[in-house]
Structure 1
Amino acid sequence: MPPLAPPAPLGLEDRLLAFAVSLLVGGAALHAGTHVVADARDYGHAVLTALLGALVWAVLEPIPLFGGLLAIAAWVAVVKRRYRLGWRRSAGVGVAAWAATVVVLAALELVGIGSVSALGVPGT
C-alpha cells in the first residue's frame, strides 16, 4: 500500500472561501448574541462587527504578556461601540455569541464540515 500523500496546499480561492464562510459564521453568532442580549440590528451589521472585532483581535492578541486581555477588552469595546451598549451587555453579547458559535460549529462538524472557524468571535 503506497503512503498517503500530504494534502495539497490550499489555493487562493479555497482560502478566500474559508475566510468568507468563517466570517459569515462569526457574523451569524454575533447576530444571535445580540438577539439574546440587546436589540439586534441586521445581519450585515453583525458581519461587519465580526470583521472589525477580528482585526482588533489579530493586532492585539500577539502582544506579549497582556495581549489576550487587551484583545478581549478591545473586542468588547468594538461590540460596545457598534451596538451602543454598556460594557456588561457588550460582554454578554460576547458570551452569547461564543455559545452560538459552539453550537453552529458542532452542527457543522456533525454534517462533515469540520474545517470552519468563526472569524470575529474570540475563543472559537
Structure 2
Amino acid sequence: MVAAIVGSLVAFVIALLIGGLAIYVSARVIADVDDYGHAVVTAFLGAVAWALTAWIPLIGPLIALVAWIGVINWRYRGGWGTAALIGLVAWLSALVILFALNTILGLGIGAFGVPGA
C-alpha cells in the first residue's frame, strides 16, 4: 500500500516537472521569461483549472481550454493572444519531450499541466 502511494506520488511529480518544462520552454521562447519554478506552478494551476471545468457536459473541454489559457494569461504578461501561443507551444513541446522520453527510455509517462499531452 505504501509503495503504491509512493509510486503514484513519484509519477505525479515527474509528470508535473515535465509539464512545467514544456511551459518553461514555451514561455522562454514566446514571452522571454526564464523561470522554471514559475512554469511548474503554472502547470499545476492550469491542471487544477482544467480538472474543475472539463467535466461539464458538451462544452466542458472548450471551457477547460479557455480556463487553462486563462491561467497562462494570469501568470504571464502579454495578453490572451500571447497566452494562447504559449499554450500551443507548450503543448507541442510536451509532445516532443514525451516522445523522446517514452521512445528512447520507454517510460510511458505523461505531462501534468499540459492538456492532451
Say whether the fold is shared (TM-score over 0.5): yes
CA distance in 1, matches of 2:78, 2:21: 19
The reply to whether residue 40 of structure 1 matches residue 33 of structure 2 is yes
1:101 has 2:116 as partner: no
Structure that is richer in helix per residue: 2
Q: Counterpart amino acid of 1:98?
A: W
The answer on whether the counterparts of 1:34 and 1:40 sit within 8 Å (CA) in structure 2 is yes
Partner of 1:111: 104
**Residue deviations 1:2-60 (CA, integer Å, cap 9, x gap):** xxxxxxxx700110000000000000000001112112141000000000000000110
Q: In 2, distance between residues paired with 1:94 and 1:66? A: 19
Partner of 1:16: 9
* SS of the residue 1:44 aligns to: helix
Unaligned stretches of 5+ in structure 1? 1-9
The alignment status of 1:67 with 2:60, answered yes or no, reads yes
The one-letter amino acid paired with 2:97 is V
Alpha-carbon distance, 1:119 to partner: 0.5
- Unaligned runs of 5+ residues in structure 2 are none
**Sequence identity of aligned pairs in percent?**
44
TM-score by length of 1: 0.88
Counterpart amino acid of residue 68 in structure 1: P
Contact 1:23 / 1:119 at 8 angstroms: preserved in 2? Answer: yes
Q: Partners of 1:46 and 1:53 in 2: how far apart?
A: 10
SS state at 2:81 partner: helix
Q: Which amino acid aligns with 2:26?
A: G
Q: CA RMSD for the aligned pairs?
A: 1.1
Residue type at the aligned position of 1:89: T
